[in-house]
Structure 1
Amino acid sequence: MDSICMMRCEGKALLECLQYQDALIIYDTLYEKDKSNFTREDYINYIRCLRMCNRNEKALRICKDLYLRKELYENDKTFTHHNQLFAAILYDCYIANFDSWAIKDEDRFFSAVDTILNLVSQEESYSYESAVFRALEYLSKKVIKDAKRMYNYLNKLNPDKLSDTPPTYLDQKGKVIEVGGSKEKWKMYYNIITGDVPNIS
């Protein structure tokens, strides 16, 4: 077995043992040495390692590289399953921390939101729902609200498929904090929108 095949097997084994950092070192080397022979599995494994190691910007570049290699997926209907991973990376890169830069680059923010909505469905990925709510949150904080645009985003969610259960998390002091459930958020934004544009519905 040649050294490339051995490295590929070792990287996959490390990934399966959740040793992402060690696996990433191998996939980085493989990508530099043998990118042209990367299989679809190699790409997905590499992207997973990058994401688990918080290297989302590079993960997104590798995603784009894979999309350019159409011969690896164009005749496989199961490939859309991987869109969930790509949507999650896109969300982490350009939407999760939007407060820090979205005002400076609003177009990129909404481009990321819209790409996620085209990649996956509400049923397929939590990134879909999260992206819509981030867009609504951002639009609701603008001095001049664009209620029509807010309504268009709100309309991309099926409220019957949203959760009533409020998610919880621990703050820095270990206190359990409860935040509003998805359905509650939907109702809140609906009230904001219909309050601004009474005849919108």
Structure 2
Amino acid sequence: MRVVHFGHACVLLDSGTTRILIDPGTFSSGFEDAKDLDAVLITHQHYDHLDTERLPALLRANPRAQLIVDEGSAPSVENPTVAQPGETLKVGDTTVKVVGGRHAMIHEDIPIVPNTGYVVGDGAFYHPGDSLFVPDEDVDVLGLPTGAPWMRLGEAVDFLRAVKPRTAVPIHEKLLSMPENAYRIFEMLKPESTEIKPLTPGEVTAV
């Protein structure tokens, strides 16, 4: 699989026959030029994962793309398919299993919104959104949250160890001034069989 990281939570997955864009949010850039998409997936309604201003033009440029969202995002977009945890959806020539269901707690005074993680291609890639939900499937490549108001770095390490992917691609890094410090901790504390692979934003990378 080839992956493009557009910064923060936004990634483009290309299996060679299916192209899926996940979480085009306000902290990400370059996804506006993505073409030939089979689907756009949204994990949850927060603006760093869903840019409602740029999304319509992206969909117009990709008329065959399904828009698949969690139930909390559905009122903010037009004509979505609402994904429910436990479902397995068909996208192009691959499958997308919907997992999780709840955003991690930021603070007890802030309402918890829906959050759907997506396991693409029978575990080829897992994007957890803003949660640390561990799926039942073996995961080949994990989009690993790096910094967030809802997470300590130690929790990210424990999540990495629980999932045990072959490769972990750090995402959700835009809130950190020096995400490289987190990458070093991941490298120190990762499972022995896992490669930590930060991606250069906008570049196509085989993983």
> TM-score, normalising length from structure 2?
0.29
Which structure has more RCO (C-alpha within 8 Å, separation ≥ 6)?
2
Bigger share in strand = 2
> TM-score, normalising length from structure 1?
0.29
When Rg is computed on C-alpha atoms for both structures, the one with the higher figure is 1
